[in-house]
Amino acid sequence: MLPVVALGAKKSKDVTQGKHCKIIFTPSGRQGAVEVGVNLLQAARQIGVDIDSVCGGRAMCGRCQIDVAEGVFDKHGVSSSRAHLSKPTITETRYADKRNLVQGRRLACQCEVVDDLVIDVPAASQMHQQLIRKAADNRHVDVNPPSRLCFIEVREPDMHEPSGDLRRIAEALMEQWPERMSVSSSADVTADLSVLKQVQATLRKANWQVTVVLRDGTHIAAVMPGLKTQILGVAIDIGSTTMSAQICDMNSGEILAVSGMMNPQIRFGEDLMSRVSYGFMNKGGADELTKVVQDGLQQLIETAAVKQDLDVQDIFEIVLVGNPVMHHLVLGIDPVELGGAPFALTFDTAFNCAAHEIGLSLNMATRVYVLPCIAGHVGADAAGAVLAEAPHNSEAMTLLIDVGTNAEIILGNRHHLMAASSPTGPAFEGAQISAGQRAAVGAIERVRINPNSYEPRFKVIGSDNWSDSLEFQEDVKKTGITGICGSGIIEILAEMYLSGIISEDGVINGELSSKTKRIEKTGRTFQYRVTDQIAITQTDVRAIQLAKAALYAGFRLLMDKMGVEKVDKIMLAGAFGTHIDPKYAMILGMVPDCALDNVIAAGNSAGAGARMALLSLTARAEIEKTVRHIEKIETAIEPSFQDHFVRAMAFPHKTDPYLFLSAEIKLPPRELIDNTVSASSHTERKRTGRRTRLNQT
């Protein structure tokens, strides 16, 4: 579990209670009043200024750098000075010494507001607009939706046979749409109060010809005048970093519109535990996180609808998937119990509610269905991926991995499924990497290194050209080279390993500095220079080693529990899995050894599963049944997890020969040594001492 840590600066003891200061942020122009002593990053959030912060206020990433404007600003009626911020903390000073903080710059997460300020937020500290890569998955679905349109002609009231309008609507449904009814008597048909309030006026205005929205074959959700032919639904994947929506025709199953956006919660912390911490440490914090994500969903839906000129009032069904923390927050449930062992969910079954109950302004009859969570750190998004990829219907031993700040792992086949999560952290998404960033235009995403000259060439998002082409130079005049995203980090480390720049243990070879200027000494270690602004440091390599070792240990533990030594098929789910090259993932040891043709980028499986559940009652019943039979493994209490973790620190692994991979790619010579101390035995701790030399060609 990641530690729960609040923003870095401690409250000063001499803070004047109740006094407020005015802060103006440029270039956004946003301004507001905050109390003396408030953390500057927190103040920015209150005012609505999105200063980038990957580490959640721990003074590790350096993304929240700001400049203080000096002088009197008559336009704003304030006098601003660096002295109007608290003095640098020990943590901030340490960061400045190690990372060469620009003269005069401060880390917003380490400052307290003392007096009025004008703060400039440099471009590098402004939240980048991420490239949303969760494309719609248009796989076939057998349409069996919960809500159907039924056009009916209703018998007019008669003095000789008194009956209510609702009864006559129900009778018309039974007579004219018997195949869609799931009750045997019109008396069993129900309706919402909102329907009853309008039904008489609607019937008479429409001359007794109306369209009913019939839900589950028994419930009248809406009555609309005349013939209505369009009914819409929305499938939404709420990721911790990005959110995506697919508006579908509930009659045909066709995807009509899609949209994607950054999860607006990201300003409260890049990783989920930072957000749980925010909710715990700040009064009303959980409610604030809930409102932000609910408002984001409204924007997401409206953006998709506007693209294709769709009316949001035609939306009657919504399906949501997300990890357990997002699952709780969007429903307005405090996720604090998910922040520590035993990671208890409030509930782990599927859930239905009205859309307005979670703050969505749509049709009053719109319903929300949330897929079930599997375990405390394996959420409804993993359930959606299982529904979409259907390992439970296959004989093949399938490994399904959704890589995020907390990797969700499913292993099994039609006979048995197991699930686990592994705390990989945000390194794979660019966090904790010196030049790391999210997948935005200008980020390096593809890398190749010449094994003789050690010279790199690369591609950036926004350009189809490699860096050694003339066209590339023109392209980057528009995009710039802003950093390196997750897929680029994976590729450059794999290429560094293949070319001998780093050893199997992840150490950058300083001896190569005599052969290439790309290898630079930095204190006691070395770094690999990619561009004038971007280098891969020894610390960066270590961060990826820790992340990939946690991932390997998670799926290897499941393989042990399942009693298998190999898998038949590997599916990499999620936006990240879609854009990494399976070959490079295997070179680093992020996936087990397997025939490369059987390592598949599955795309947005969680979103695909959400769409299936949106369009099919059968799919909903299937995943609810399947989840109940998935065995949950808690990695935190498994002694062998640590053993696997230690061995997996090497590239691709300390003891696994990776024979399938070796047959496809020439790996550097490796010495397989199992010299780890077993943590799985409480009575005898010993080193295995097995040693094998592999000269792989």
Residue 288's CATH number: 3.30.420.480
- The span from the CA of 273 to the CA of 5, in Å, is 9
Q: Is residue 378 part of a domain?
A: no
What's the whole-number mean pLDDT along residues 397-417? 92
Q: Of 637, 574, 260, which is closest to residue 408 (Cα–Cα)?
A: 574
> Do residues 286 and 334 touch, judged by C-beta distance below 8 A?
yes
Q: Tell me what the pLDDT averaged over the chain comes to.
A: 87
Q: Are residues 413 and 494 in the same domain?
A: no
* pLDDT bracket for residue 403 (50, 70, 90): confident
Q: Are residues 560 and 690 in the same domain?
A: yes
Query: Longest Cα pair distance anywhere in the chain, in angstroms?
Result: 104
Note the pLDDT of residue 62.
Answer: 81
For 548-564, write each residue's pLDDT tens digit: 999 999 999 999 999 99
Q: Which residues pair with 80 in a beta bridge?
A: 71
Q: Are residues 242 and 213 in the same domain?
A: no
| Domain termination site, one of 492, 509, 543 | 543
Compute, in degrees rounded to 10, the torsion defined by CA atoms 147, 149, 153, 157: 30
CA distances from 16 to 20, 21, 36, 321 (A): 9, 11, 7, 45
- The span from the CA of 297 to the CA of 303, in Å, is 10
Check which CATH number belongs to the domain holding 80 and give it.
3.10.20.30
Note the pLDDT of residue 634.
Answer: 87
Note the pLDDT of residue 608.
Answer: 92
pLDDT of 690 above 90: no
What's the whole-number mean pLDDT along residues 161-183? 92
pLDDT of 52 above 90: no
User: Which amino acid is located at 17 in the chain?
Assistant: Q
Q: Which residues pair with 459 in a beta bridge?
A: 446
pLDDT of 46 above 90: no
Q: Are residues 363 and 396 in the same domain?
A: no
Note the pLDDT of residue 54.
Answer: 53
What's the whole-number mean pLDDT along residues 321-327? 93
pLDDT of 458 above 80: yes
Q: Which residues pair with 378 in a beta bridge?
A: 375
pLDDT of 98 above 70: yes
* pLDDT bracket for residue 122 (50, 70, 90): confident
Q: Starting at the edge strand that comes first in sequence, how are the strands of the sheet with 525-529 ordered?
A: 519-522, 525-529, 535-537
pLDDT of 13 above 50: no
Q: Are residues 308 and 210 in the same domain?
A: no
> Do residues 483 and 460 touch, judged by C-beta distance below 8 A?
no
- The span from the CA of 635 to the CA of 638, in Å, is 5
Note the pLDDT of residue 138.
Answer: 58
Note the pLDDT of residue 200.
Answer: 96
Q: Are residues 33 and 169 in the same domain?
A: no
CA distances from 169 to 1, 184, 190 (A): 55, 15, 11
pLDDT of 363 above 70: yes
Highest averaged pLDDT of the listed ranges 13-17, 338-342, 497-501: 497-501
Q: Is residue 91 part of a domain?
A: yes
- The span from the CA of 259 to the CA of 163, in Å, is 47
Q: Are strands 65-68 and 416-422 parallel, antiparallel or unpaired?
A: unpaired
Note the pLDDT of residue 119.
Answer: 92
Q: Are residues 166 and 209 in the same domain?
A: yes
Q: Is residue 362 part of a domain?
A: yes
Note the pLDDT of residue 19.
Answer: 85
| Domain termination site, one of 543, 561, 576 | 543
Report the percent of the chain where pLDDT is more than 90.
63
Give residue 162's domain range. Answer: 147-225
pLDDT of 131 above 50: no
Note the pLDDT of residue 675.
Answer: 54
What's the whole-number mean pLDDT along residues 450-459? 97
- The span from the CA of 506 to the CA of 500, in Å, is 10
Note the pLDDT of residue 68.
Answer: 93
> Do residues 424 and 637 touch, judged by C-beta distance below 8 A?
no
Segment among 23-37, 418-432, 660-674, 681-695 with least mean pLDDT: 681-695
Of the chain, the end-to-end C-alpha distance in Å amounts to 40
Q: Is residue 308 part of a domain?
A: yes
Q: Are residues 345 and 277 in the same domain?
A: yes
**Torsion angles phi and psi, residue 539, rounded to 5:** -65, -35
Note the pLDDT of residue 208.
Answer: 95
What's the whole-number mean pLDDT along residues 365-371? 97
What's the whole-number mean pLDDT along residues 313-330? 95
Segment among 23-32, 311-320, 398-407 with least mean pLDDT: 23-32
Q: Which residue has the higher pLDDT, 112 or 277?
A: 112
* pLDDT bracket for residue 666 (50, 70, 90): very high
Residue 1 parent element (H or E): none
- The span from the CA of 632 to the CA of 30, in Å, is 47
* pLDDT bracket for residue 575 (50, 70, 90): low
What's the whole-number mean pLDDT along residues 589-617? 93
Domain count, the chain: 5
* pLDDT bracket for residue 7 (50, 70, 90): very low
Q: Are residues 532 and 629 in the same domain?
A: no
What's the whole-number mean pLDDT along residues 369-378? 94
Q: Are residues 343 and 245 in the same domain?
A: yes
Q: Are residues 348 and 358 in the same domain?
A: yes
DSSP annotation of 179 reads G
Q: Are strands 670-674 and 690-694 parallel, antiparallel or unpaired?
A: antiparallel
User: Which amino acid is located at 130 in the chain?
Assistant: Q
Q: Are residues 567 and 677 in the same domain?
A: yes
Q: Starting at the edge strand that comes first in sequence, how are the strands of the sheet with 209-215 ordered?
A: 147-153, 209-215, 219-225, 190-191
User: ∠ at Cα 555 (429, 673), nearest 5°?
Assistant: 100
